[in-house]
Amino acid sequence: MAHRLVPFRFTQVEREDLKSSGTESSRYGSFLAQQQSWDAGIQGIILVIGSTNNLNSFIAQEVDQLAPDASSRVELTFTRGVTRAALDTHSVILTSGFDAGGVGYLGCSNRGFHHRIPLVGVGGSGLTTWPGDTKSSAQGELKRLQPDHTHYVLLDGRLDDLAIRKFRFDLVNALKPQQNSMLPQVAFVLNGTQEELKEVLLCVHGGIPVVIISGTGGIADQIARRLKTPDINETGTEIDALVLEVVQKGAKALEVIELRDIEGAVIRDLVKVLFSGAVGASEIPTRLVNKKKHLETLSSRCTGSACVVM
């Protein structure tokens, strides 16, 4: 299968074919880790998991269920939260690469930071097109790439969605500075469908801490609800079974933040605590100790530079 790594350098697009057999994520991980433009090197990995549909559409449709400032808080989650955290911790961010949902906010935020954050989209080439393109394929409307990513890994179009998500997860493991080392990692989940739920399950099985942004709908809210009331009877659908598995397997790796409680510093400080391995409230800004006790919970599970699931 032929895969391509497409580095974006602001307005100039440069394509490079990586001649390898199969889906060798280690080859891509090595290439990305050696990028000279990343001054301090990669010191952490942030995954953003969410629906590839337009999150603004969801907010508009569910206005009665969300706070009036929901849209601005979702944007804040990325602009002053995830993106700022990545910049401060010298982390790479991995996404679907599509210009939709939370990834769209993330790209716009990276533009505001002059593309200083390594923002890598991993997707299939079969339903992918360049920013601004409106073409369709035999399989349906092509999804546009978000133009403010610094890199894309475009996989063979014959791969199905789950295979692409598994590759993204494998890429996380390949992005490490040296053999047998591990970078601190965290995943953020907003909205999402059953396909994103499978990626959350990969994170749980892989020991990656997962932060659920409740109040954004989709599987994010379903996981949050199940965590609060684990004994509730669901309808027994496949998605219910997957949610239950996520909660049971990753109870100590999951943390929920309500969208209404989001402020940029909360996300930023949460990532810093996770990635620094700090333990105890003394490492957390005083103004957050009482209001955001999940920071203490998460920090207590960090040892050294890596967070582990106990």
Average pLDDT (189-217) is 89
Mean pLDDT (the chain) is: 72
pTM of the model: 0.77
Residue type, 301: R
CA distance 276 to 282: 13
- Which of the four pLDDT bands, split at 50, 70 and 90, describes residue 13? very low
How far is the C-alpha of 188 from the C-alpha of 213, rounded, in Å?
7
Q: How confident is the model at residue 138 (pLDDT cuts 50, 70, 90)?
A: low
The beta-strand segments (E) located in 130-242 are 136-137, 140-141, 143-144, 151-155, 185-190, 210-214
Write down all domains in the chain, each with its CATH number in brackets.
4-307 (3.40.50.450)
Neighbours of 176 (CB within 10 A): 17
Greater model confidence, 21 or 79: 79
Asked whether the beta carbons of 310 and 301 are under 8 A apart, the reply is yes
The pLDDT of residue 251: 75
| Minimum mean pLDDT range among 15-29, 32-46, 102-116 | 15-29
Rg of the chain in Å (alpha carbons): 18
Chain centroid to Cα 106, Å, comes to: 10
pLDDT over 50 at 292, yes or no: no
- Between β-strands 12-13 and 4-9, what pairing exists: parallel, antiparallel or unpaired? antiparallel
pLDDT higher at 76 or 21:
76
Is residue 262 over pLDDT 60?
Answer: yes
Distances (CA, A) of 156 to 132, 160, 161, 162, 167: 22, 9, 11, 13, 11
- CB-based contact 123:152 (threshold 8 Å): yes
Mean pLDDT of 31-54: 71
What percent of the chain has pLDDT above 90?
13
What pLDDT score does 212 carry?
93
Rounded to an integer, what distance in angstroms lies between the CA atom of residue 100 and that of residue 96?
A: 9
Tokens of 107: 């790209």
Which distant-in-sequence residues (6+ apart) come within 8 Å of 237 by Cβ?
A: none
Per-residue pLDDT, 54: 52
Which residues lie closer than 8 Å to 227 by C-beta, 6 or more apart?
Answer: 212, 247, 251, 254, 256
Q: How do 210-214 and 185-190 pair as beta strands?
A: parallel
- In this prediction, residue 66 carries a pLDDT of 53
* pLDDT at site 280: 34
